[in-house]
Every structure is written in C-alpha cells, then in structure tokens.
Structure 1
Amino acid sequence: MTDGGTAAASAPRFRRFLGGRAALWIAFVLVHVGLAWLNLTAQGLPLGDVTGVYLRWAENAVHGWVRVGIDMPWVYPILAFAPMTAALAFGAEWYAQAWLAMVALLDAVAFSILIGSARLSRTRRTAAWWWLGFLALLGPIALGRIDAITVPFAMVGLLMAAGRPRVASVLLTIGAWVKVWPAALLAAVVIASRRRREVASIAIALSIGILGVSLFAGAGLNAFGFVEEQAGRGLQIEAPLAVAWLWQIVAGSEDVRIHYSRDILTFQIQGPGADAAAALTTPVMAVGVLAVVLLGVRAVRRGAVFGRVLPPLALTFLVVLMLANKVGSPQFVAWLAAPVVLGLVYRPGRFAVPALITAAIALFTQVIYPYWYGWLLVADPAFVFLLTVKAGLLVVLLVWGVRALWQAGSRRDPAPPTT
C-alpha cells in the first residue's frame, strides 16, 4: 500500500477515535493538567484568591479563631465554606494542589454524566468537546475560584432537569448555597418544568435545612450576611458598566480613578456617578430578571416544549446577572458553560451561535486575566477595548436569548429527540 493509501486508511480510524470516549477523556485530562499547571506557575497569581484568601479563612476556622459566615458576616453563602475547608485536608502547604484536584474531580463527575455510559450521541459529543475547548479558552480562572465548584453542580442539575427534576433541584440548591448564581438556573427549571411545584418545594425545604444548621451553629443574621456584603460593593472595574468610566480615564479625566478596596479585596471605580451606577445595578437587575421570567412564562403557557425553553431561559438569566452586575469578576464567565452545554445537547444547531460567542468571551477573559491584568488596572486603551468588546458580546448573547425565548412562545415545535 502506498503512503497515500495508508494515510487514507488511517484517517477514518482517527476520526472514530476522536468520536469516542477515550479521546474525550484524554482531552479532559490534558486540559485540566494544563490549567492546573497554569494556576500554579503563570504570572498574575491566578490562584491568588485560593491560596491568599480561602486558605486564610479555612485556617482561621480550623484554629478556632473565627468562622466566616457564622461568627461574622461573609461575602459568600454558608456552604462555600465546605470546599474551602475540604481543601485543607492535606495541610496548608498542599492547599493549592488539593483545591485543583477537588475541582478536577467535580468536573470529571459532570463530564462523565454529560457523555453518559450508553451509546455516545453526536449532540453530547459536541457538547463535551465544546466544554473542554471553553475551559482551555477561559484559562486558569476556570479552576481557580469558588465558582469552579458550582459549575459542575449547575451543569449536572440542568442535564437532569428533564428526567430527574428532584435531583436537579437538590444539586442547583446546593450550588446556590455555595455561590448564589445557580439560583437563576433553579428558577429557569421551575418555570420550564411541568413538575415545578415539586422542584420548588424541594429547593425550599433544603434551603430551610441549610439555614437551620447555620443558625444552630450560631450564625444568627450572619447566615444572610452575603446579601449585605454584596449590596455594599462599589463598581468593580471588570463590570460591564465600568467601561464608561474606564474610557474617561483613557481620555485623560482626572476625576475618575481606580482604587483598591481592602474591605472586599477588589479594584473599583471612583468618580462622578460611579456610586450611583453601582446602586442602580440592583433594581436594573431585578427588572431584567422579571422580564426574563415573563418571557419564559409566556413561552411555557403557549405550549413550548421543555427542551426549547430551558436552555435559552437559563442562558438569558445568567447574562442578565452578568450585565447588570456591579462586580463582573472574570470567573463569572465560567457560569455560561452550564446552559450552553445544555443547549448543545438539546438543540446543537440553534445553539451554535451562543456557543461561539461564549467561547470568544472566554478567550477575551483569559487575555485580560490573569496574565496582563495590570494593563487593565492602568486603563490601557487596548485592554479597555477588549473589556468593551467582551461586554458587547454579552449584550449580543442577551439579544439572542430574548429572541429565542420570544420565538419559543410564538410557535410550537416537536420535542427534540432524547439524547
């Protein structure tokens, strides 16, 4: 056989290999090992929050000094303390490695559920490859924050929402008590599911139980401290709204500057109107969420099937939370993986556009953070432009989601095939 014939014969075998589970798992390991290495070695201290903040909180509690969320108000819901403490199992010197291993393990569980054990369908294979590409594009921040703990819970919760809504409710509720954002996905499931009362009842009962344990531990009103802590934040420089003030700095304004808040450990905007804009984000977010709820309810009442409503509804909820947010931290982009993966499983053709847009947002995020974050801190025009483009892409995602929800309530489609 000629060299050309050998290559032609091996090409189908290679394609079959890429279409199988072995290739997916090899890629999963390579992506996570690469991201772990970047977290441990890359410039910009991508694991800084984990080793500099989470570790300190965990050690303070272990030594009996102070328990955040119980003895004092905290920026996160109470269950966020569980993974932070668990990563201390092998000692402070191995805290970073334990954290990365824990996130990788949770991702592996979600990945195994995504690709399943039966015959691997084309849609699930596409979604799995997209998620791995998304993680690589997003970079070290995909593993190096508390948000990374919640993404697998959110993803599996959405994937199970159709067939096992009780499990979905439990997973999304746990995720919401680690970091609030999965509550938006829970709301999307409640709206889209025919078993919404069951989903809501389980979520409420589990939340009462979590709060009860917190109160029994002595938390008191500190159990709700994350609400007050978030409300007291200023306008963080990564927030989409902040680009208006960053461009003023680029233009040479002396009235606007970037300062570091030692209370919440973030860089924020100081300047005319910045505090008012930060205060307006909460009502704007509430209005945006209400509008998305109404779109979702409209679609369901007009007979739109579950698989047509839930993916765009979940995505649109999250985009509203990101756009109308005074914080805008880079790790928020990790949230988008859950609804996009669900959309690629249910309707890969329809979700091709948001999948590409979300991948681009992930890439721009990694370019800005962590490697060259210092350029954004001095309002370098190129990096302010990148942040502006990223915000613009989020707006495009919002428009796409609103349009998809409106169309879902405007015509009836047959249910997509089970995958």
Structure 2
Amino acid sequence: MPAQRSSSAVAVSATVLLWVGFVVVHLWVSWLAIHGPHLPLGDVVNQYHGWVADGLAGNGWVGLDRVWVYPTLALAPLLFSAALGLAAYVHVWLVLVAVLDAVAFAVLTRGGTRRRALGWWWLAFLVLLGPIAVGRLDSITVPIALVGLLLVSRRPALAAVLLTVGTWIKVWPVALVGAVLISERRWMRILVSVLATSVAVVLLAFVFGGTSAAIFGFVGQQTSRGLQVEAPVSTWWLWLEALHVPGVSTQYDVAINTFQIHGPGTVVAAAVMTPVQLVILVGVVLLGWRARHRGVPSTSILGPLALGLTAALIVGNKVGSPQYVTWLAVVVLAGFVLARDGGPSFVLPGVLTLAIAGLTQVVYPFHYDGLLLAHPGMVLVITLRNALLVALLVVAAVQLWRLDGRRLDGPRLDGPRADRPRGRSAGATSAPVGG
C-alpha cells in the first residue's frame, strides 16, 4: 500500500507539473503573439476583427452573404471572440485558443506516463513554433482535429463529427477525414457522420441567411493565388533573388494580404502547383489503399497516412503560410499514440517536426524582414525548413510502402475482427487510441 500511495503521489505531481507547463507555455506564446515583431496576431487584429466589425455594422457577413476564403463555420470562433466587445477581441481569442488546447491536452495526456510525455512533446512544439501557433484560425482547428483523431477507434461517429467541423472551419482537416475513411473498416459509419455534419452546417448557414455562392465560395478562392514567399516551391526563386538575378523579386499583394515572389516561371509554377499537389495526394492515398488491401490493421495505417496527406497539403501548396506547420502536431501526436497499438514508430517524424517548428519561428516572426529581402542566411533557413517538410512526406510514404499485414509484428488483419489485437475482448478493441 505505501508503494502504491507513493506511485500515485508521483503521478499526481507529474500531472500537476505538466499542467503548470501548459499554462506557462500558453502565457509565453500569447505574450509573444501580442508583443512580438511583425504582428503575429495580424490576422486576428486586422482581418478577423474587421470582418466581424463589418458584419455588426450591417455590411454583410463573410461566409454567409459575402464570398470568403474560409468555410462558413470559421465565422463561429470569429464571432465568439467578440463576445465581450470588439475592444477585448484579441484577448478573448487567445483565451478561446487556450481553452480548446486545454481540452485536447486533457484528452491526449490521460492514460499514464507515456501520454504525459506526449504532452511535453506538444508543449515543446508550441515553444519552438512560437506565436503563430495561437494567432490564426488553424489554432482553432488543431485541438478539434487532435481530439477527433484520438477518438477514431472508440467513438468513430463523434470523431467524424469533430473532423468535419474542423474542415468547415479551415479546410485542411479534410486530409484527416480522408485518412480515416481509407484506413478504417467502419468507413461507412464515418462517412454517414461526415455527410450528416456537413449537411447540418450548410442548413444552419442557410437558416442564418447564407447564400449558395457565399457558403461554397471558399472552394475556388485559392486557385488564383501566386507563389507565397515561404512555400516550398518558392525556394528556387528565393535563391535567385538572393543571388540578385534580374527580374526576381518579392512583392506585397494588398488584396490577399501576403508576400508573393515574382520572376521568370513563377506564373507557370503557380498554375501547375494545384494539379501537382493533387498528384501527390493521390499517390499517398494509393499507398494507403495498398496497405489496407495487404491486410494491415487500421491502427497501423492511420498514423503514416494522416501524416502523408497532411505533409502533402503543405509541400504541394503554393501558399505555404507558417501556421500550416501547426497541422503537423496533430498527426504526429496521433501517430505516437497509434504506434503503441502496432503502428510504425513516430520518433523520426516527431524529431523532424520539432526541427521544422523551430526553423519556422526563426523566419516568422523574428527574421521575416530578412526573408523578404532574400538575405542568404534566411533563405538558407527556409530552405532547410522546406527540405525537412519534404523529408517528412518521404518518411510517411516509406512507412506506408513498408506496411504489410503478413509481416507485421503487431496485430494482423484476420477477417471481420481484424483490427482487434489478439487476446483482447471485443469491448477493449481500441482503448489505447481513445484512452
């Protein structure tokens, strides 16, 4: 008994320390978001606040009766942040992000020492990535998507609802929806939840006066954009600019509030990146299907497949905003959890993602001027960051390629009960993932 009490006291102390770390880290990144260089909360202050102010002034609501770059449900956190008035908008936003993160953190770290270690990994990721982790709509979708992935095996319908809600806030979680549908044998139940949630969101938007053009307008909003300076595809032209090649320059686009790189071939590159991204995504999907049809359990497929699809969205994207790196935390954390249930090791993706986060913060917000001026040092940093993103995609593809249900050390696929590790009862099918 004394030994048990001692062990329990240690666990409680470790949990308290972890939550103290959570509070300290969120206070730190929130402080940096408010006081850091290059206004890391620029989108919140100038865009989100402005859209809500316009709506309240009777000038129409983005996503409802005005075409918007984001899906309609993104309006919900924007409106919530105005709950205490527009003067408190930024602070309410930061509190909202912290509360959502706290819920996801509680779900993630529940379950012993190993889960607490994952909590520390997430905190390290936030410190390395810096203020961008709390300063964009992605900050809202990350905790929602993380909880969704962690609940897939135990509560597939609820997980599908959460992932779909995340998709209707910021499109990227659709990659996770795709990964779940491909890997899970209960895909029909999940698909029904996805469709039902989407229908509910659309009907709700119509009830509040939305128009079809505004509700679905986000679908085509990204296609006309040029090459954003941080995007992996822009690396070549950044080096040309750093070497002072005539005709290559970085320019600010007022209409979309971002810096784009211009030069010989950039228009063509911008035009082909969408189909290139599609090809990469299809390639990753085919690897996932291959693993499934080779008898690989869903718990072994989901981690690398979600990582591969998410990395493909970033690597093949002509936008490449720094907040996209926040997506990686979701798939890496879920991958670590799934690794315990027979999935591939996520140690290498975890290390690469921490390095990507640190390099991203070096560029934005602290040395963004250097990147915009194509300073060779900053171009080198962004080159390393982008190379690691490509490496992460390659790692995911290799993991998927190596999956084989006939040679797995973990549970094998064996008929309709294939996803259940041997020796477990039906009621304990997937506790490690959801617990």
In structure 2, how many angstroms separate the alpha carbons of the residues matched to 1:383 and 1:181?
Answer: 27
In structure 2, how many angstroms separate the alpha carbons of the residues matched to 1:92 and 1:63?
Answer: 12
Q: 3-state SS of the aligned residue for 2:260?
A: strand
Match in the other structure for 2:3: none
For each residue in 1:204-242, what CA deviation from the matched residue of structure 2 results, as whole angstroms up to 9, or x when unmatched? 121122122323423221212112211111110010000
For each residue in 1:22-61, what CA deviation from the matched residue of structure 2 results, as whole angstroms up to 9, or x when unmatched? 1111110110011111111112211111011100001111
Q: Aligned letter for 2:97? A: V
Q: Aligned letter for 1:314? A: A
TM-score, normalised to structure 1's length?
Answer: 0.93
Matched, 1:383 2:378: yes
Match in the other structure for 1:87: 81
Q: Aligned letter for 1:109? A: V
Q: 3-state SS of the aligned residue for 2:96?
A: helix
Structure 1 pair 19–316 and aligned structure 2 pair: CA distance change class (3 A):
farther
Matched, 1:372 2:367: yes
Matched residue count: 404
In structure 1, how many angstroms separate the alpha carbons of the residues matched to 2:12 and 2:291?
Answer: 38
In structure 1, how many angstroms separate the alpha carbons of the residues matched to 2:381 and 2:75?
Answer: 34
Match in the other structure for 1:127: 118
For each residue in 1:366-417, what CA deviation from the matched residue of structure 2 results, as whole angstroms up to 9, or x when unmatched? 1100122111111111111111101110111111101111111363332478
Structure 1 pair 251–123 and aligned structure 2 pair: CA distance change class (3 A):
same
Matched, 1:33 2:23: no
In structure 2, how many angstroms separate the alpha carbons of the residues matched to 1:19 and 1:402?
Answer: 40
Match in the other structure for 1:136: 127
Match in the other structure for 2:42: 48
In structure 2, how many angstroms separate the alpha carbons of the residues matched to 1:367 and 1:19?
Answer: 34
The answer as to whether partners of 1:304 and 1:413 remain within 8 angstroms in 2 is no
Match in the other structure for 2:149: 158
In structure 2, how many angstroms separate the alpha carbons of the residues matched to 1:82 and 1:418?
Answer: 32
1:276 Cα shift?
Answer: 0.9
The answer as to whether partners of 2:105 and 2:119 remain within 8 angstroms in 1 is yes
The answer as to whether partners of 1:19 and 1:125 remain within 8 angstroms in 2 is no
The answer as to whether partners of 2:94 and 2:134 remain within 8 angstroms in 1 is yes
1:19 Cα shift?
Answer: 7.2
Q: Aligned letter for 2:408? A: R
TM-score, normalised to structure 2's length?
Answer: 0.90
Match in the other structure for 1:176: 167
Q: 3-state SS of the aligned residue for 1:297?
A: helix
In structure 2, how many angstroms separate the alpha carbons of the residues matched to 1:92 and 1:47?
Answer: 15
Structure 1 pair 263–131 and aligned structure 2 pair: CA distance change class (3 A):
same
Match in the other structure for 1:110: 104
Match in the other structure for 1:237: 229
Counterpart selection for 2:65 from 54, 68, 71? 71
Q: Aligned letter for 1:252? A: H
The answer as to whether partners of 2:137 and 2:170 remain within 8 angstroms in 1 is yes
Q: 3-state SS of the aligned residue for 2:191?
A: helix
Match in the other structure for 1:5: none
The farther-off stretch of 149-158 and 89-98 is 89-98
Matched, 1:293 2:285: yes
In structure 2, how many angstroms separate the alpha carbons of the residues matched to 1:369 and 1:245?
Answer: 19
Q: Aligned letter for 1:177? A: W
In structure 1, how many angstroms separate the alpha carbons of the residues matched to 2:15 and 2:114?
Answer: 13
Match in the other structure for 1:412: 408
In structure 2, how many angstroms separate the alpha carbons of the residues matched to 1:326 and 1:253?
Answer: 21
Matched, 1:398 2:393: yes
Unmatched runs of 5 consecutive residues or more in structure 2:
1-5, 412-420, 422-429
Unmatched runs of 5 consecutive residues or more in structure 1:
1-11
CA RMSD across the alignment: 1.7
Q: 3-state SS of the aligned residue for 1:71?
A: coil
1:418 Cα shift?
Answer: 4.4
1:308 Cα shift?
Answer: 1.1
For each residue in 1:306-353, what CA deviation from the matched residue of structure 2 results, as whole angstroms up to 9, or x when unmatched? 221111110110110100001000000000001100111222681111
In structure 1, how many angstroms separate the alpha carbons of the residues matched to 2:302 and 2:118?
Answer: 16
Match in the other structure for 1:336: 328
The answer as to whether partners of 2:154 and 2:431 remain within 8 angstroms in 1 is no
Q: 3-state SS of the aligned residue for 1:350?
A: coil
Q: Aligned letter for 1:278? A: A
The answer as to whether partners of 2:63 and 2:210 remain within 8 angstroms in 1 is no
Matched, 1:307 2:302: no
Q: 3-state SS of the aligned residue for 1:268?
A: strand
For each residue in 1:224-280, what CA deviation from the matched residue of structure 2 results, as whole angstroms up to 9, or x when unmatched? 211221111111001000011111101111211111111111101111111111111
1:16 Cα shift?
Answer: 3.9
